[in-house]
Structure 1
Amino acid sequence: MKNALDLVTAAKAQVTEIPVTEAEAAIRNADVLIDVREESEFGAGHLPGAIHASRGMLEFKLSGTPALAARDIKVVLYCKTSGRAALAAAAMKEMGYLNVTSIAGGFDAWVAAGKQIDKPQLPSFG
């Protein structure tokens, strides 16, 4: 019987992870940057330019979004620490996507490296 860590380890063995030091260049060269965290995590702050598709809904969003249907699009994925992104990348690979990478260390590594994040602006009632 496998646990979540076993599944993540197996996924990481079959997908491409890039270090956070290479992430900005990979994002610039990508067609899409996908945040696979939960909606509340995305809303609290995310990488600039990211779209949201939680890990639990990713395959359905990919299948239902014509702009993401081409299997040769370049995709960069991330989550909080890289486990969900690895699982998502493995699922996309199984779906036939050819150019999928995930950011090692995820959002936490991005923040720790001092890189920019986008946060929603709260309205001013002053």
Structure 2
Amino acid sequence: MSVQHTPAPSITPAVLQRLMDEERAPRMLDVRTPGEFRTAHIPGAYNVPLDTLREHRDELLAHLDEEVVLVCRSGGRAQQAEKALAEAGLPNLRVLDGGMVAWETAGAPVNRGPERWDMERQVRLVAGSIVLATGLAGILVPGLHLIGTAVGAGLTYAALSNSCAMGVLLSKLPYNRGPRPDIRAVIAELRSTR
């Protein structure tokens, strides 16, 4: 019999900002792709992409003994990271409510780098382009429009399951990956800041 996972409580941008102002900021792990992280991230956050976090969660656990806030674009990937770390036995996890979108909307401080499209925008572009192209080409080639239907079904499943296969595939492109964070460097930095 499996144990049902209870999601960790969220933390609002205002509360996190207050903790940072009081110099009581929790550890912040940003689980977005390196490309997204370089575009904009919360000062003091560590970039540990979701797939890296899942692969090295046991190594990370030894260096995350206090409260940890997980950050992504809007909350979905951070919730997946929270589940992975909670299942590994890490307590004191929270997810930034609304992710970077809410953080930036609140006017909180952000370290900025070169502008890149976020993952959600990339998914909309690719999915929309496939549906548009196959819909138009379906006028000449009967049945081709069904590819667009399959993409629509995939997007519906992605919304219902809070996962996105297309986003996972797009995250593997060089545009999104950039230099992968070295987990040893992240762990050394976690160790040295406490």
| TM-score category, normalised to shorter length | 0.7 to 0.9
Alignment match, 1:94: 87
Name the counterpart of 2:11: 18
Q: How does 1:111-126 map to 2 (within 5 A)?
A: 111-120=104-113
Instruction: Map residues 1-126 of structure 1 onto 2, 5 A cutoff.
Output: 14-26=7-19, 28-65=23-60, 68-70=61-63, 72-120=65-113
Output one character per residue of 1:61-104: Cα deviation in whole Å (capped at 9) or x when no partner. 33335xx5156322111100011111111111111001111111
**Structure whose residues are more often strand by fraction:** 1
Larger radius of gyration: 2
Deviates further, 22-31 or 37-46: 22-31
How many residue pairs match? The answer is 109
Aligned AA (1:74): E
SS in 1 for 2:111: coil
Unaligned runs of at least 5 residues, structure 1: 1-9, 122-126
Q: Which moved more, 1:72-81 or 1:53-62?
A: 53-62
Q: Which residue of 1 aligns with 2:162?
A: none
Q: Provide the secondary structure at the position in 2 that maps to 1:42.
A: helix
The two structures have a TM-score, normalised by structure 1, of: 0.74
Q: List per-residue Cα deviations over 1:33-74 (Å, max 9, x = no partner).
A: 110011110011100001100111113333335xx5156322
TM-score, normalised to structure 2, is 0.50
**Alpha-carbon shift at residue 32 of structure 1 (Å):** 1.6
Deviation at 1:26, TM superposition (A): 4.6
SS in 2 for 1:57: helix
Q: Deviations over 1:1-59 (max 9, x none)?
A: xxxxxxxxx97x52111122212245543452110011110011100001100111113
Q: For the residues of structure 1 that align with 2:7 and 2:39, how far apart are their CA atoms?
A: 30
